[in-house]
Amino acid sequence: MRNNSHQSREKCFTTEIQRKELSKPKTPYGIYMNIQGFLSALRDSVVRAPLKFCFGLILFLCAMSVAPLPACAEERDLLELYRLATAKDPVLARAGARLEAGKADKEIAWAALQPRVSANASARHLWHRVIDYQPEPFNGEYTGYSYGAGAGIPIFNMASYYQIASAGAGIGSAEAGILATRQDLMVRLVSGYVYYLKALADEKLYRDELSRVGRVLEQAEAFLKAGTGDVIAVYEARARLDSASADLVKTEGQLRLAKQNLSSLTGIMIDGVRDIAVSTSSGPHPAELEWWLETQRQNSPAIIQARKDLLQAEEIRKATNAGHLPVISGNGGYTVDKGSTFLPNVETQQWYLGASINIPLYSGGETSARTRRALAGESERRAMLDDAQEQGVRRLKEAFLNLQYNVSLVDAYTRKHESAGLQLKATQKGRDIGTRTAIDLLNAEQSYAVSRRDLAAVLYDNVQRQMELKAAAGILAESDMVELNSMLQK
């Protein structure tokens, strides 16, 4: 009686468990289980009606053979994405436009020191009345004309010389700005590329875990149904399944964000990218921080741009202050005039050559005010240079230390991955001899997969850290992108 009562309670409890399982919302694995149930029913039908099943299977295979296959996702390499990003990036386009404007400013400044040549012509008919020249006033009319050509050239104009120097500094600033923008774009693209690869690795990890946990849950439910299992194992497997499903949803969202990030940089939809085949890490080379700091002082485009901006501000201040100096210019030309009141038919031809000087005496304080404003702009540019140098040093040290730290992480995660592999082999052996459970094997497989994912992530980070260090030192070039692209899997 006690055994029958115990079996009755267990059966009722099992029925309640099954009812709760059916009432739960379907997870990705729930759909998978439905497919498994369909396949199980299909297998049963094979046993009952083999000829009918075989005939249906032949029809299904024939239909699949004529159905169009889905197109494979196009995997793009890094150089292709970089070319697309340079063509699309608005910051780089703005930097290029600034360079063109700077070149035009220099041409304008040089034009102020070039000769100016002009020609003129006019014709007129005049009616006149002359009074008090003769005893009686008299009237007359005549037709006159004039034409000529002249030229003028600046001889001394210090403001123009300073403006030429200012325009040259502006061009240097714009060129450094383009280089800084290109380096920043390279770093952003590599960062987005690595982020996408890490998101793919995360998605694969949790999809594999979902499949493994699904098999364990299926086994636990089968044992429970056969009377050789327990409810606790079902609950534990279900909890692991729900956790894996939640993690998969999260990683799928991160993968969409990573894909959107790359699409924003390149302007196209990203279907897939080629993986980076990296198996070892490397630290800063050379390993001396002082070498990197000195390289940054000489090559950093951000610092060079700030220096050129300061030089431009200094030249602008000098040009403004030169407004107090005299301006000397020369001029010459040829003119022809015909017609006047008393000699209406006389034509006068003349050549002329001369010089002029313009000495500013008083402009209402405008020149002094412009000079003070230029001096304030110069002080601002000097402060910006100091800030650029401090920010550059801080960024370089962070990149240097991050790369060193990453090398240590790679070593640590390599040992972790090796240990996880040994643990997995031991657990598999224990499972074969019955000393380890399916949950133990599942945990060991997940630990091994996580260690493999973590090792790949820090190796990806090593590639990114190297690019960031070179960019901070100002020596990152397109040749580095070509070298990195050669490391992609074929």
pLDDT digits (tens, 9 = 90+) for 250-302: 999 999 999 999 999 999 998 889 999 888 889 999 999 999 999 999 999 99
Judged against a pLDDT cut of 70, whether residue 347 lies above it is answered with yes
Beta-sheet strand order (sheet of 138-156): 116-130, 138-156, 327-338, 347-358
Compute φ and ψ for 235, nearest 5 degrees.
-60, -45
Give me the helix-helix angle, 2-23 and 231-266, nearest 10°. 10
466-477 pLDDT, tens digit each: 999 999 999 999
pLDDT at residue 167 tops 50: yes
pLDDT at position 96 is 95
Token output for 270: 């990203």
∠ CA 418-249-222, nearest 5°, is 75
In this prediction, residue 73 has a pLDDT band, given cuts at 50, 70 and 90, of low
β 327-338/347-358 pair status: antiparallel
Half-sphere exposure of 189 (CA within 13 A, CB side): 29
Report the pLDDT averaged over residues 105-110: 93
- Sorting pLDDT into bands at 50, 70 and 90, what band is 237? confident
pLDDT of residue 377: 94
Please tell me the predicted confidence (pLDDT) of residue 47.
Answer: 40
Over residues 300-339, the pLDDT tens digits come to: 999 999 999 999 999 999 999 998 999 999 999 999 998 8
Average pLDDT, the chain: 85
Least confident window among 63-67, 138-142, 258-262, 422-426: 63-67
Match 């040994």 to its residue by tokens.
422
Residue identified by tokens 């301006």 is: 327
Q: Which of 309, 308, 319 is nearest to 377 (CA)?
A: 309
| Confidence (pLDDT) at 27 | 43
Which pair of tokens denotes residue 436?
Answer: 């380890």
Radius of gyration of the chain (CA): 42
Digit-coded pLDDT (tens) for 1-25: 434 444 444 444 344 434 444 344 4
**pLDDT of 122 above 50:** yes
Phi, psi for 22 (deg, rounded to 5):
-70, -30
**172-186, 225-239, 384-398, 404-418: lowest mean pLDDT where?**
225-239
Return d(Cα 179, Cα 476) in angstroms, integer: 9
Give Cα 11 to chain centroid, integer Å: 62
- Any residues with CB less than 8 A from the CB of 365 and at least 6 apart, and which? none
Q: Which residue, 415, 165, 201, 194, is CA-closest to 314?
A: 165
Per-residue pLDDT at 48 exceeds 60: no
In one letter, which amino acid is 406? N
pLDDT tens digits for 23-46?
Answer: 444 444 444 444 445 445 444 443
pLDDT reported for residue 165: 95
Residue 489: per-residue pLDDT: 82
Contacts of 146 (CB under 8 A, 6+ apart): 120, 121, 122, 335, 336, 337, 338
Task: Extract the tokens encoding 206.
Answer: 């949790």
The fold of the 75-113+157-325+360-485 domain, in CATH, is Outer membrane efflux proteins (OEP) (1.20.1600)
Cis ω before 286 (30° cut-off from 0): yes
pLDDT at 58 (0 to 100): 35
**What 3 state SS string does 195-254 have?**
HHHHHHHHHHHHHHHHHHHHHHHHHHHHHHHHCCCCHHHHHHHHHHHHHHHHHHHHHHHH
